[in-house]
Structure formats: C-alpha cells, structure tokens
Structure 1
Amino acid sequence: MNVAVIGGGGREHALARKLAQSDRIETVYAIPGNDGMRDVAEVVPEIGETDFEKIAALCTSKQVAWVVVGPEAPLSEGIADYLEGRGIKVFGPRKEEAKIESSKAFTKDIMEKYDIPTARYKAFTDYDAAYSYIESVGAPIVLKKDGLAAGKGVIVATDMDEALAGLDALMADSDAPIVIEEFLEGEEFSLMVLVNGDYTHSFEIIAQDHKRAFDNDEGPNTGGMGAYAPVRHIPESVRQEAVDQIVGPMARAMVSEGLDYFGVLYLGAIVTDKGVKTIEFNARFGDPEAQILLSLMEDDLVDVLEKVDRKEAFTLTFSPRYQVGVMLASAGYPGSYDKGHTIDFEAVREKSFVSGLKQENEGWVTAGGRVLLVTGEGETIESAIDSAYHNVDQVKFNEGEVFIRRDIGRHALK
C-alpha cells in the first residue's frame, strides 16, 4: 500500500522513516516533506501542508491508503474533515476534536467540567482584568496563549515583573484569549495515547522533553531542545495513574461532549505532591519525543494504525535500550534567527532527524529555528547520553551560528 505523511519537520521525518520500514508499504509520500526525508519517502515540496485540494488529488491518484498528519496547523484547519469527506482515510483528529490543542480554554473547560486533574486557571480577553487577576494571585504563575504557538506560547513567570511582562507580550499581537494557570511544581513527562472515540491505547513507556532553550532549564520556552526515553526513574505506577485518572476520563469526556477523536493524543503531565496533573494536551505526536519513541518502537506502525482503527486490544513492544536526542537550533531561536548557515551531518545521518535543513550546492544549510535532532542509544541512560553527544560532536558547524543544550537526559541521573 501507499501512505502519505503531512508535514515537513523532524517528527514527520520520524513518521516517514518508521512507515518506510514496513514490509506492507510500497511508497511513502511526504507532503511537503523536507530534503532529509528523500532516502525514505517521495518528497512533494510543491504541495503545502494546508493545500487540502492538492493533497486530496495526489492521494487519490496515488491510491494512498492512509494519511498520517504530523503538525498541528493542518489539523486545526480541518484536513481530516476535508480528506475523509473525499473517501481518504486519515490518522489525525478532525477540526472540532483538534481544538483539544488549538484552544487551551476549550480544553481546560472540559477538564474542569469532568474533574480531570489539572492546574487551577482562568481565561481572559480583557487586559485589565487579567492584570488585576495576576496582581491578586501573585507569582510564580503560568501564562498561555490560547491558540497554536508551536510549543512557544507559554510563559512560566517566577516573579511579578516576568508575569506582567509576559501578559504584555501575549496580549500585544492577538485578540485571542490567554489562560492564566497556577504554577505546578514537580517533574514533567510526556505520554502518547492512541485514541478512537472511547478507545485508548497509551504507550507503554513515557518520555521527557526539554522545553527551555538553555542548560539547567533556563531561558525561554521552545518547541523542544531534546528528549529521551524511557524514563525509568518515574515509576510505572505514575504512568498508570495518568492513564486511569487523566487519559481514560478525558477520552470519555470528549465522547460525552459529542466529540469523536481519532489519532494521537499527547499528554504533557507533571508529578506533583498531590498526584499526577495535566499540563497540556496536544492533538498530535510530540516533537522531539516522536523521533525517540518511534525509533524505540519495534512494531509495524501500519499494523498499529489498523488495530486502533478496529479498536483492538494489543501491546506495543519497545526496545529495552535508552535513546537520547539532542536538538541543534539556530542561534537566536526561539526568537529571530538567520538562515543559510552550513551544517555537515553526513557522519551521523542515519542517527539524525531533519527539522529545518535544506540541501544546497551538494551540502546542507539551515532553514528553520530547530534544524536537526541527533540521537544516541545505550544500555543505560548514561551510555545513551554519551552516545548522543559523541554523535553531536561529529556534526560540523560554525560556533555562534548553531547552539545545543549539553544537559539532555541529565534529569534521569538526579
């Protein structure tokens, strides 16, 4: 069969690579894809990820059996609705269900209604009301833009100056509401869940992302500067608590609200002294967690999609090894940055996922904020960290043009 992957980042590179490993797949079409995917997929750069009419035409002409949607933008704009209306099977939620990510206020309201553990919150469209609320509750506090922000629309303010400056920043460029939440203290983790209505299958392992730009969790929030799995210092009982207290209730709550979710549900959770609580839900695989988890998964992804479609019970099998991924990002990210800087990663290409690079004059140049995730594996977390950074050090780039964090995976050593 033929399949298509929508999107052009590192998560989609991982999806295309994983699907291409299936004996059942003839061709993977990556729309629009990126140059790093050309060894595993037929890249279609002339079609954008939200050009639904052209995507449908290609999928029809190429007899595509499954479309797997990677990024949030096409989901929130209704790609699943459009393609399914033309008889094309999509793994990814429809527009209304994708509001679980595209509207934080929508999601928080559902969690409040069905008593799903999360931080206390209020949503605001009025600046003065939000300002007064922040003054009344104080800091630390969390401010979130209501809408898609590629993982960067969150401000964790440790004091009042940061909180009020964050309020100014989030309300300056948009009329969208902001959600103000209590600050939760604890260790965070990511859990991927396969959902089909009231049916759920949670991944048997969890991952940890590193959101802040710099070492020691300092600097602004990003789309993710690295990840690792499994997270064995967080006990299985915690993952199971998240499944029982958050994942299952949320799936049933969506059904009760008339929603029919089909796709991956990403749970960002935190272990507090009062139990596991929800930080966020996303309507797709996490990035860079997907690159790590799909690499460790030993199952055929096509088989998995079909079992979820049929609501079958099954168990996923993951490699017992650890994997660590380190993100190379353009200097200045998540703020403004230059493009066109040369990177040579041929020595570790098979261990890397391209996020924002393009081929130019037989070489590679930067074309985005996050540009390349370099991975390493090991029998222990220590050896996986060493392997990842050994591989990073084989990548050639100019200092000052690209930066990395040097502490990915170190949470597991504490």
Structure 2
Amino acid sequence: MKENVNLLVVGSGGREHAICKALLKSDKVAKVYCAPGNPGMTFDGIEVVAIDELNFDALKGFVYDNDIEWTFVGPEDALVAGIVDSFREDNLKIFGPDKRAAQLEGSKNYAMEFMDKYHIPTAKFKTYTTSDEAIAGLKEFDEPVVIKEDGLAAGKGVVIAQSYQEAEDEIRLMFRKGQKKVVLEEFLVGNEYSMFLVLSDKGYRILPMAQDHKRAYDNDEGLNTGGMGAYSPLPQLFDAEYQAMITDIVEPTVKGLEAGDYHYHGILYIGMIMTKEGPKVIEYNVRLGDPETQVVLPRVESDFAELIDAAINDKQLPELKISDKAYLNVVVAGAGYPKQAVKGQALPKLESQKDIYTIYANVKIEDEVVYGNGGRILSIVGEASTIEEAHKLVYKYLENYKWNDCFYRHDIGVKAFK
C-alpha cells in the first residue's frame, strides 16, 4: 500500500463512522473523507463532504480533485444503484460489489435462487407476484411464516406473522405499498449470527463475528429495526458450529460467486441461524452491518486499510490479527423508531471515558449542541475483557445521562452470558 494516502468513505451512518475510524488508524492513511457523512464524525478527525451518496458524478469529481486513492462504499442503496460500475467506467478504484453482485441484497428472490443453485442451506421459500397468489401459497408453510419484501428495506422489510390471518393482512399491505414481489419463507428456529467476509479474486478473509438485536424492545419484542445493538465475540458459539458455518455456508457461497463469474470485490455479510440441522442462511447483505460494524472493526488489530487496499488491487490478502477483547454496542434511537421517530431533541453532552466510544449516525450540531435527527441517533460502544463487563460498562454510562425523547434496549449482549 502507498504511503500518506487520502481515502473516501461513502455513507452517513454509524457504520460509516466506524469504518472511517478503522481506516484512520492506519499509519499509511493521511486523511479520511466521508460523503455525505454526519457532523458527529468530525469529533474523530473525519472530514465530512456534503455530497449525496447517490450523486455519482459529484463523488467522482471529488475523487479527482482530492487525490483519493480509493473509495469504500458503506450503504447498500449506492451499491444496488451501481456506484461501483460508475467508478470503474472512469478507472477509479472502489471497494464494493458491482450492480449485478449487489442483487444478492437488492432482491431477496435473487439471493434465494443463488442459494438454491449452489446448494447453500437456507429456508424453504417461494416468491409471488400478486397478493392472491401469495395468500393461496400460505398453506405450503407452517405458522409462523416469514414474509419478506423483495427489494431493499433498510433491514425492516421482514415480518414474522404468527398466524395465517396476520400473514394475509401483511401480504395485502406489502402489495398495496407497491411491492412487485413478496417472498414467503419457513420460520427457522435457533440463534442468529452475523458473519462478514472481505472478498477479492485472490480469496477471502473472515472478520470477527457478531450478534445483532433486530427487534425494537427488550426480550426481542416490537417491530424489526435496522438493529438496536450488537456485540462481539460470541462466547456461546462452539468451535464446531463455527467450522460448520465455513464448510456448509462460506465455502459454497464463495465457490458460487466464482462459478457465476461475479469477480466480487467487497464485503459479503452472511446472516445465519444455527438450527438443529446445522447452519442456514437467513440473508446476504453486500456491505458491513449496522450496528455490527461498531463492534467488529475495533477487534481487527491488523491494518484494516491495508486489507482493503490488497482486496481492491487483487494482491494476496494479509492474515488478520484479531483482539480477544469484547465490544458491546447499544444504539440510542429517537422515540417512535422504527416508525415515525422524534427529531430535534437536544442530546446530553457526553463526557469522554476510558473504554467508551460514541459513534454518531443521525445527528446535527448547532451552537455546539448535538441534536437527534431521526431514526437511530448514535451508538455507545464499550470495550472490556468480557461481554458481561462491556454490558455493565455501557449501561452504567448510559444511565449517567437523561435521554429526552429517546430510547434504547436494556438487554444487549445478555444472550452471551445468561
């Protein structure tokens, strides 16, 4: 990797804040820009650029004008829209899958057909193009039944219907909202885990695993969200289960990408569930997860920028050095999330504390006061020797402050030690 390089990260959320922080740790990185970024990133020396993530021409112009070595794409919307194809047309280096490969996240049906073709264990499924067909197809599935919007839904397009009547109502609603396809899946039982691969034509490396918490409220109650917290490592995951994930899921997935001539350069997130029959895939995402990135990347002790540089340039991917420390992330969201979240609430002035990190997402700053700007506002991440210690550290910190018109879960990480 060259010395003293400038890098650009595309996106604006907590995931992108964590990516920028990880890249800035490299001795070979001079500046990290984030477009459009968020004002909270500036506290960590990240330079934010007011360019929308879907304005590809303006982003490319910024790359030319600021001597950017390469660009790292954070969000799925830009990947599915073809940002990588656009950059490559102008011979600009960029990390992320192209538009075709991004369909693994952009279409649930496309992903399920990929798994079916390459014999990757997943749920029984069927895709429907009308509400009447989907409702008639319910009889092929036991209750509860999983209903997924086919396209991108920011992690919230999944409903677990406990009864056929609830499923019928949800199916009709999805099609009324403009869905062209809806996927029905069998409900799988087991612990869910997030695995992240860094891929190139030279192979892959597996980043530390994490566990996400999708439901809005404690005890996994409430609506699905983009994610309310995460932790890493996973002490409850046995070595044999981890190896089964690699043998049964990762290796056939990578072989499928090679056989399908995808030339995949980017992150592949594999959402898995450990069932009685072994690991099965719940979903593919074509980027890092949020809130998992905030606990995964701090555990990577080796140079993350050098890893990405090697992947972009198809050089041998360096071995990873992974920390044994535990990281736990609790997301603070605006009241009402994931529906209509409160905006504009003044946030408490957060004091710096050893082993506590604030990662910003939807915020604005006026007169040195930080305000919530909707949805998931920020993450509080704790570092400790164990998940239980990190859990206590983060919640003690959160309890020091008054969070007006905000909420957070109180049970992040509990599955790891209870």
- TM > 0.5 fold call: yes
Report the counterpart of residue 276 of structure 1 in structure 2: 279
Q: What are the superposed Cα offsets for residues 10-69 of structure 1, whole Å, 9 maximum, x if unpaired?
A: 000001111111111111111000001113211112x10010000000001111011000
Correspondence list, 1:193-212, <5 A: 193-197=197-201, 199-203=203-207, 205-212=208-215
In structure 2, how many angstroms separate the alpha carbons of the residues matched to 1:259 and 1:245? 20
Q: 1:395 to 1:59 in 2, by over 3 A?
A: farther
Report the counterpart of residue 373 of structure 2 in structure 1: 367
In structure 1, how many angstroms separate the alpha carbons of the residues matched to 2:85 and 2:163? 43
Report the counterpart of residue 267 of structure 1 in structure 2: 270
Mapped contact 2:307–2:317 kept (Cα < 8 A): no
Asked whether 1:84 is paired with 2:88, we answer: yes
The worse-fitting range, judged by mean Cα deviation, of 104-113 and 309-318 is 309-318
Mapped contact 1:11–1:291 kept (Cα < 8 A): yes
In structure 2, how many angstroms separate the alpha carbons of the residues matched to 1:197 and 1:125? 36
Report the counterpart of residue 385 of structure 2 in structure 1: 379
Correspondence list, 1:2-401, <5 A: 2-38=6-42, 39-45=44-50, 47-197=51-201, 199-203=203-207, 205-309=208-312, 310-348=314-352, 351-398=357-404, 401=405
Mapped contact 2:266–2:286 kept (Cα < 8 A): yes
User: What is the Cα deviation at residue 307 of structure 1?
Assistant: 3.0
In structure 1, how many angstroms separate the alpha carbons of the residues matched to 2:184 and 2:201? 29
User: What is the Cα deviation at residue 78 of structure 1?
Assistant: 0.5
Structure 1 length as normaliser, TM-score?
Answer: 0.96
In structure 2, how many angstroms separate the alpha carbons of the residues matched to 1:89 and 1:363? 37
Misfit runs of 4+, over 3 Å: none
Q: Structure 2 regions of 5+ residues with no counterpart? A: none
Helix, strand or coil at the partner of 1:193: strand
Helix, strand or coil at the partner of 2:351: helix
In structure 2, how many angstroms separate the alpha carbons of the residues matched to 1:223 and 1:187? 18
Q: What are the superposed Cα offsets for residues 171-221 of structure 1, whole Å, 9 maximum, x if unpaired?
A: 221132111100000000000101114722122x31000000000001110
Q: What are the superposed Cα offsets for residues 85-142 of structure 1, whole Å, 9 maximum, x if unpaired?
A: 1121111111111111001101100111111000010001111110011144241111
Mapped contact 1:188–1:271 kept (Cα < 8 A): yes
Helix, strand or coil at the partner of 1:346: coil
Q: 1:95 to 1:345 in 2, by over 3 A?
A: farther
User: What is the Cα deviation at residue 319 of structure 1?
Assistant: 1.8
Mapped contact 1:7–1:70 kept (Cα < 8 A): yes
Structure 2 length as normaliser, TM-score?
Answer: 0.95
User: What is the Cα deviation at residue 239 of structure 1?
Assistant: 1.9
In structure 2, how many angstroms separate the alpha carbons of the residues matched to 1:26 and 1:137? 54
In structure 1, how many angstroms separate the alpha carbons of the residues matched to 2:196 and 2:8? 21
Mapped contact 1:326–1:392 kept (Cα < 8 A): no
Q: What one-letter code is carried by the residue in structure 1 that aligns with 2:361?
A: S
Mapped contact 1:348–1:395 kept (Cα < 8 A): no
Q: 1:345 to 1:316 in 2, by over 3 A?
A: farther
In structure 1, how many angstroms separate the alpha carbons of the residues matched to 2:93 and 2:80? 17
In structure 2, how many angstroms separate the alpha carbons of the residues matched to 1:374 and 1:320? 20
Mapped contact 2:204–2:317 kept (Cα < 8 A): no
Q: Structure 1 regions of 5+ residues with no counterpart? A: none
Q: 1:150 to 1:83 in 2, by over 3 A?
A: same
Aligned residues: 410
Q: What are the superposed Cα offsets for residues 138-191 of structure 1, whole Å, 9 maximum, x if unpaired?
A: 411111111110000001122223322221232221132111100000000000
Percent sequence identity is 39
Q: What are the superposed Cα offsets for residues 319-375 of structure 1, whole Å, 9 maximum, x if unpaired?
A: 211111000011111111221011124214861110111102320111120001101
Helix, strand or coil at the partner of 1:258: coil
In structure 1, how many angstroms separate the alpha carbons of the residues matched to 2:235 and 2:219? 20
The worse-fitting range, judged by mean Cα deviation, of 333-342 and 128-137 is 128-137
